[in-house]
Chains A and B, each alone.
Chain A
Amino acid sequence: MAKPTRLAWWHLLVVLAALVVAVVGAVLLGAIDLGWSRVLGEVWAQLTGGRSPLSEQESAILWQLRMPRVVLAGLVGAALACSGATFQGVFRNPLADPYLLGAAAGAGMVVTILVVLTPSATAFLPAAAFVGALGGVALTWGLGRSAGAGTATLLLAGVAVASFLTAVQTFVQQLNTLTLQQVYGWILGGLSTSGWGQVLTVLPYLAVALVVLCSCSGLLDVLALGDEEAASLGVRPGAVRLVVLAAASLATAAAVSASGLIGFVGIVVPHVIRLLFGASYRVVVPLSLAGGAIFLILADIVARTALAPAELPIGVVTAFTGAPFFVLVLRRRQT
C-alpha cells in the first residue's frame, strides 16, 4: 500500500477536528460540573460583554484553572510526541523516546537535590527541571563525543548517564525521606498549573524548538536512507543530528519543567501516527505534534476526573490508556 510522503490536507483536517473535540471536552469536564450550556453562556458573555451565567468562582475555575491547564497539556503533549518522533528518526530506532539522552534523569536529579536542600523553593522547580534536563543531555552528548562518533555510542552514553544520575538522585533522596512525597509527586508528572504564567514561560522555548523540528522533518527522511546516501544528496548528517537533537532536547526540557515526567507519549504517539498516516517524517513529525497534544489533553481529562475530587498522576493515565490503544492499532495494521 502506497503511503503518502507529504502532508495532505485531509491529514490536517482530521487532526484539527480531533484537537477541537479534545479541547472542548477538556474545558467542559472537570472535578466540578459547570454545565455545558452555562460554559457556552460564559464564553458568549466574555465575547459580547454580556451577563455570565457562572458565578465569580466558577468563572475563575473555567478561565484560570481549566483553560491554562488544557493549553499546557496540549503544549507538553505536542513537545513530547514531536521530540519522540525526531529522536526515533535520528537514532533510526523505533524505541527511542525523548528521555533517552538523560533529560529525565538530569531533571529528576536536579529537582530532587533542590527539594531536599531547600524544600521551600517549589517556585524554582520548573527552572531546576529545565536546567537538569539540558544538563543531562549535554553530559550524554559530551560523553558520547569523547567515546567516538556514531549514534550507537551516543545511545550507550545516554544509558550510562541516566543510570548514574538516577543513582545520585536516589542517594540524595535517602538523605531526607520527609521530602519523598514531593519528589515522588513530581516524578509521576502532573499538570496542576500555576495558571497562564506557566504556559507563557514554556511557550517561547517550545515554539522555537517545534518550528525547528517540523522544518527538519524532510531532512530526517533523507537521513533515513543512510549517512552516505544523505551525504551524496548534499546533507551533512552530523549537523542535522546536532540541530535536531538540540531542538528536541529543548522541547523535552521545557515539557519536563512544566509537567514533571510523563512517560509513553513520546514513544507511542509517533508510532500510532506512523501506522495511521504513513512512515515519512514529513508526515510523522507535524502530525505527532498535533497527536501528542490531543492524547495528553484527553489523558488529562481522565487524570482530573477519574478520582475526583482527587487527581490521578497523569503518567499513570498515559501508560494505562496508551498501551492498549497502541496494541489495538498494531493488531489492526497486521490483519
Chain B
Amino acid sequence: MPALVVAAALALTGCATHSEPPASTNPAGSTFPVTVTPAGGKAVTIAAKPTHVVSLSPASTEDLFAIGAGPQVTAVDKLSDYPASAPRTDIDAFKPSVETIAARKPDLVIVYDDTNNVVAGLEQLKVPVLVLKAAASLDDAYGQISLLGQATGHTAEADKLVGDMKSQIADVVAKTPKKSLSYFHELSADGYTVTSKTFDGQVYGLFGLRDIADSAGGAGDYPQLSAEKVIAADPDLIFLADTTCCQQSAATVAARPGWSTLRAVRNGNVVALDDSVASRWGPRVVDLVKAVAAAVQKAS
C-alpha cells in the first residue's frame, strides 16, 4: 500500500504540468479518505478533507496558502510570517507543546521535524501528523506541494503551482548568461554557509555558479568558514541570507576587517537576500531564483 502511494506521488510530480480537471477539488471530498506518504516518512491517512489545519512549518504554511488551502488553516507557528493572512500564533516549532496544539482541535498537523516527541503525542490523540522535512532539492519541494495538495483536497491547484514554478524557473535560468562565477552564501555573520549539495546550493547550481565552501574542506553540508578562508577564496558573488536575523548588509560586510579587499565588495556584488525566501523550500523559491539571476546578470 505505501509503495503504491509513493508511486502515485512520484507520478504526480512527474507530470505536474498537466492540469487535473477541477472536479478533484470537489468539497464533498470524493478524494477522501486519502493516504499520503512524505519522503522518508510513514504513510498518513486523512479521513476527510481537513478544515482545521495547524502548520508548524513556515515553508508548508506558504505552500498551503499558495494552493488555496489557506481557509482550512486555523493556526500556524510564530515563525510562519508569510503570507500575512496566515493565522499566526505563539506556538514555537522548536519546542511545541502537544496540549497547545491539541487545544486548537486540529484535524491535520504539519511539522518539519519531530521535536519534543510531538508526533507521538498527537498520534495518541488520533490527530494525523505530516512530517515534511527540509527539502533537499527542488524536486523535494515540488513533491511536498503536491502532497499537501492531496492532503488538503487541492490537487489541481498544487499541480498548477508546481507547473508554474517549474516553467518560471526554467525561463529565468534560460535568460541568464552562463558564466563561471564563484559565490559565498552567508547564513550567519560568524561564517556558517552552505555547500552545493544543499537546497540553496542547488539553486545556485542552476546558474552554474561555483560554491567556495565545496573546496574549503569544511564539515558537513552547512560548514563554517572562517573569515580568512572567505577572503583568501575571494568569491565573485556574496549572498547574504542573514539580513533579517543579523542585520547584515553590503555596508556591514564592507566594514568587516579585511573584507573591503574582496572583489565582490569592490564590484558591488554583495547581494542582500530575504532570509525567509532563502531558507524556505516553498513557492517563493522562484523569488530566490530571480534574485540570484539578477545578481549573475549584474556580475557578468
List the interface of chain A (C-beta within 8 A of B): 30-32, 56-61, 63-66, 68, 119-120, 122, 177-178, 181-182, 185, 190, 192-196, 304, 307-311
Contacts and interface: CB of A to CB of B under 8 A. Distances in A.
B18 to A, nearest CB: 40
A65 B262 contact: no
Interface string B149-193: 000000000000000000000000000000000000000111100
A65 B246 contact: no
A317 B231 CA distance: 25
Interface in B80-137: 92, 94-95
B87 to A, nearest CB: 20
Nearest to A63: B258
* Of B232, B245, B246, most A-chain CB atoms within 10 Å: B232
A68 B219 contact: no
Nearest to B227: A65
A276 B256 CA distance: 41
Q: Which 7 A-B pairs have the closest CB atoms?
A: A195-B257, A60-B258, A310-B224, A64-B257, A120-B247, A64-B258, A309-B229
Interface residues of B, number: 32
A64 B232 CA distance: 13
Contact of B232 (A57, A190, A196): A57
A181 B192 CA distance: 12
A31 B258 contact: no
Nearest to B95: A177
B261 A56 contact: yes
A50 B28 CA distance: 83
Contact of B226 (A68, A181, A194, A309): A309
Given A57-B232, A61-B258, A310-B226, 16 more contacts: A32-B231, A57-B231, A57-B261, A60-B259, A60-B260, A61-B227, A65-B231, A119-B245, A122-B246, A181-B188, A195-B258, A308-B226, A308-B229, A309-B223, A310-B219, A310-B224
Nearest to B244: A120
Nearest to B189: A122
Interface of B: 79, 92, 94-95, 188-191, 216-219, 223-229, 231-232, 234, 245-247, 256-262
Contact of B262 (A57, A119, A193): A57
11 contacts: A32-B228, A57-B262, A60-B231, A61-B227, A61-B231, A61-B258, A65-B227, A195-B258, A308-B226, A308-B229, A309-B223
B226 A311 contact: yes
B186 to A, nearest CB: 14
B224 A311 contact: yes
